[in-house]
Amino acid sequence: MEMVRMMLVLSLLGFLSEATAKELAFHYKTAEGLTLAGKLATPDGASYDAVPRVVILIHGSGPNDMDSSMRAMDGKTRLRYFKTLSDALVEKGFAVVRYNKRTYELKQLGLKDRSVFKSPLMRRLTKTGWLKGFVDDVEGVARWATGKLPKAKLYLLGVSQGTHIALIVAHRLKQVAGVALIGFYSTSLHVQMFEQIVYRPQSWFVRADTNGDGKLSRAELLLAGKAGIAIALHLSVFDVDGDGMVSYPEIQAANIINLYRLGTDLRYQRQELSYPPIPSLVKHSRAPVLFFQGMWDNQTPAYQAMSMRFLAKNVWKKGNLRFHFFPKLGHLLDPRDRYDSVEYRPMDRAAQTKLLDEINRTFK
């Protein structure tokens, strides 16, 4: 019945980049009645009946549009990670599907009319739950894509939160022939938030602690960039033990309050528990799973992908898992000046080439 309620209303809105690709704009209506805009990109001149491979791009957390748009560290450059990946994959002969995340479409509706957040649509979305909704969207779009491209093998490329969703969908849909993961995590989303909020500042603290005594004096803080200056100006607030300095536990104490403020999405956690644990999804995967991990990723730290590599090699003895680690690259395989940097840049060219070559070689 759910599939009966799902509709894809296709509207040809023209072609982009005619020299290399054509793009078909479509609208996908979820079971709850929310419309998601998307695009199917295919190599120029390729018939839909003859396309051999299709990749669905799956977003990370947040209300992301189909291009995964964001601002670069200069505050001016617009980064479009999924559009860039789509164009590059099309050049390799893949068809690529990307679409607006349901949270993005809901946000856009809310900007026009805030009453949507109290509407029957919102109640239906909330009843479904966000994680299940994200999974449903990928599965619905996948069914449409394989119907539109009848000879194409189906592949998934997930980023951050999308790595979890991709593994769930691959576990549920047997026709998924391969999965690529950028910024993988192996625990709950709440644990990832804890990692980012409480532990991410550690390398900054160690760098600022020039005399290695485990505490930051006012003088050290004033030399520790914007964050250090801000703490120095409010030293009495951070200085819980009253010794005139700031220790790492005091920094953590201030940061974890932000986690308290954010609260816990219990519905999301319950839905996480309704699916197999992430390590189990990896362990029981059948198709090739490619991990692409930045070593300076401070959002989904590399030790999680490394734990899968350890288990694959020493315990599971699985040959379908392949791992690629990139020094000094961040969450989206973008160059970073240091581990604790939170400023995004375009994906590293060499890493992108490696990613594309490995996907093209493995996803046949």
Tens digit of each residue's pLDDT (9 = 90 or more) over 200-237: 999 999 999 999 999 999 999 999 999 999 999 999 99
Average pLDDT score over the chain: 92
271 and 163 in contact (C-beta within 8 Å)? Answer: no
| Domain with residues 194-262, CATH architecture | Orthogonal Bundle (1.10)
Q: pLDDT digit string (tens) for 238-291?
A: 999 999 999 999 999 999 998 898 877 889 999 999 999 999 999 999 999 999
361 and 53 in contact (C-beta within 8 Å)? Answer: no
Burial class (CB within 10 angstroms; exposed 0-12, middle 13-18, buried 19+) of 40: buried
Q: Which of the four pLDDT bands, split at 50, 70 and 90, describes residue 4?
A: very low
The CATH number of the domain covering residues in 2-182+277-362? 3.40.50.1820
The residue type of 43 is P
Domain boundary assignment for the chain? 2-182+277-362, 194-262
Nearest to 274 by CA among 162, 93, 128: 128
Give residue 342's pLDDT.
87
Give residue 20's pLDDT.
58
Q: Which of the four pLDDT bands, split at 50, 70 and 90, describes residue 6?
A: very low
Per-residue burial over 75-89, b = 16 or more CB atoms within 10 Å of its CB, e = otherwise? eeeebbbbbebbbbb
Q: What is the pTM (predicted TM-score) of this model?
A: 0.91
- pLDDT surpasses 90 at 66: yes
Rounded average pLDDT over 76-95: 94
Rounded percentage of the chain residues whose pLDDT exceeds 70: 93
Rounded percentage of the chain residues whose pLDDT exceeds 90: 88
